[in-house]
């Protein structure tokens, strides 16, 4: 009887090891397997891929990791899935969320490597960097990385690396700041909150500071390390600035609702670089990319690589198509702030929000 009991315990232990090996560990509680239109659960993976292109498969397993959940990154994820599924109806997806933690992003990269996903997609700079640092024998596609050269992902915008390429969301900083200037004529001081640990945010902050200086406007910054610090950082700018500009900083945007509330409470005009969140969060205006369309552009690169194209032959993709860019104006917020929005700006808007 004792021998039989030991055998049962051993079998149960083996089953548990198999369960966690399939990616159901609590460590990856932010992730899920998505089989798209296909039935059943995600497979453990495919044969090991080459460094620059994925092997030809009918039901590829695509690992998609994002640094945090917020509307822009969720829209990217949706666009990628839909574009890949259109070309490969049986495609399977392992969707992971690092919840703002770089260490978790590295663990997700290890997970994708062990699973032998056909392609690993990193949404936003920190996640893409984690994948690139861990995965060298499987194609890695970055999505919405502001400056992939500065992040060390590729050496040039003109061509991909041995196993990596993707899309950039280098923001139209000048146009975004000009929108704030147009909404607040005579503005003298613009506030900006960002995470100095995000390479994309550092690049954008410098670009914004330089542009403001050229316009004779003071650029006042507050730096955060995580989303819990956003509220305090923004509050520190109240009374010191005439308006707030937010770039594509993932840490700050994970707390965008809090940011919008503080700005409304303190009558601070807020212009952001994320039209996706502006559809539901009360910001004065947003100028930037349609992240769903950028996700589809990323998905098209994934499909190209799945069909055998080398990553080194694919340059970084920059959104230039008008349908990939958006301007959102919230007239309700403008009314609350006592701001009259120029009619020309209203006419140019992709979306105007106003209560009936």
Number of structural domains in the chain: 2
How would you classify the pairing of strands 164-168 and 317-318? parallel
So what's the pLDDT on residue 10?
Answer: 41
Q: 240-271 pLDDT, tens per residue?
A: 999 999 998 989 999 999 999 999 999 999 99
Q: Are residues 10 and 121 in the same domain?
A: yes
Q: Are residues 56 and 154 in the same domain?
A: yes
CB 164 within 8 A of CB 217: no
Q: 236-248 pLDDT, tens per residue?
A: 999 999 999 999 8
Residue 218, pLDDT above cutoff 70 = yes
Q: Are residues 261 and 152 in the same domain?
A: no
Q: Give the mean pLDDT of 288-316.
A: 96
Q: Are residues 21 and 100 in the same domain?
A: yes
Q: Are residues 268 and 311 in the same domain?
A: no
Residue 34, pLDDT above cutoff 70 = no
DSSP single-letter state for residue 150: T
CB 247 within 8 A of CB 204: yes
Q: Are residues 228 and 251 in the same domain?
A: yes
Element (H, E) at 219: strand 218-224
Q: Are residues 85 and 100 in the same domain?
A: yes
Q: Are residues 209 and 316 in the same domain?
A: no
CATH of the domain at 228: 3.40.50.2300
The model's confidence at residue 12, banded by pLDDT at 50, 70 and 90, is very low
Q: Are residues 28 and 135 in the same domain?
A: yes
Q: Are residues 265 and 313 in the same domain?
A: no
DSSP single-letter state for residue 192: E
Q: Are residues 84 and 147 in the same domain?
A: yes
Domain that holds residue 340: 173-289+325-353
Residue 47, pLDDT above cutoff 70 = no
Q: Which residue has the tokens 């704030």?
A: 180
CA–CA separation, 317 vs 144, rounded Å? 9
Distances (CA, A) of 76 to 104, 213, 291: 20, 33, 5
CA–CA separation, 127 vs 74, rounded Å? 14
What is the percentage of the chain residues whose pLDDT exceeds 70? Answer: 84
Residue 200, pLDDT above cutoff 90 = no
Q: Are residues 246 and 114 in the same domain?
A: no
């Amino acid at each position: 009887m004792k021998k039989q009991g030991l055998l049962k315990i051993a079998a149960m232990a083996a089953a548990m090891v198999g369960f966690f090996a399939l990616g159901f560990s609590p460590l990856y509680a932010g992730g899920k397997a998505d089989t798209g239109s296909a039935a059943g659960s995600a497979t453990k993976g495919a044969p090991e891929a080459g460094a620059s292109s994925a092997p030809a498969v009918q039901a590829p397993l695509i690992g998609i990791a994002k640094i945090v959940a917020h509307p822009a990154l969720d829209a990217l994820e949706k666009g990628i899935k839909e574009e890949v599924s259109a070309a490969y109806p049986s495609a399977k997806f392992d969707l992971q969320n690092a919840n703002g933690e770089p260490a978790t992003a590295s663990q997700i990269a290890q997970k994708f490597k062990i699973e032998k996903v056909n392609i690993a997609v990193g949404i936003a700079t920190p996640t893409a960097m984690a994948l690139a640092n861990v995965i060298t024998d499987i194609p890695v596609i970055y999505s919405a990385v502001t400056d992939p050269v500065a992040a060390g992902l590729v050496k040039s915008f003109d061509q991909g690396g041995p196993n990596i390429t993707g899309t950039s969301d280098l923001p139209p900083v000048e146009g975004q700041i000009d929108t704030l200037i147009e909404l607040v004529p005579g503005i003298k001081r613009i506030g900006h909150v960002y995470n100095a640990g995000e390479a994309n945010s550092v690049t954008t902050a410098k670009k914004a500071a330089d542009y403001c200086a050229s316009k004779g406007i003071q650029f006042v910054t507050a730096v955060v390390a995580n989303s819990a610090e956003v509220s305090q950082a923004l509050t520190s700018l109240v009374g010191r600035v005439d308006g707030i500009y937010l770039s594509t900083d993932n840490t700050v945007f994970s707390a965008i609702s809090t940011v919008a509330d503080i700005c409304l409470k303190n009558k601070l005009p807020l212009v952001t670089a994320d039209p996706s969140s502006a559809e539901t969060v009360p910001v004065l205006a947003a100028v930037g990319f349609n992240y769903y369309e950028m996700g589809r552009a990323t998905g098209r690169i994934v499909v190209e690589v799945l069909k055998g194209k080398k990553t080194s032959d694919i340059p970084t993709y920059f959104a230039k198509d008008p349908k990939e860019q958006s301007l959102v104006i919230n007239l309700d917020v403008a009314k609350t702030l006592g701001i009259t929005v120029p009619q020309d700006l209203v006419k140019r808007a992709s979306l105007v929000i106003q209560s009936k």
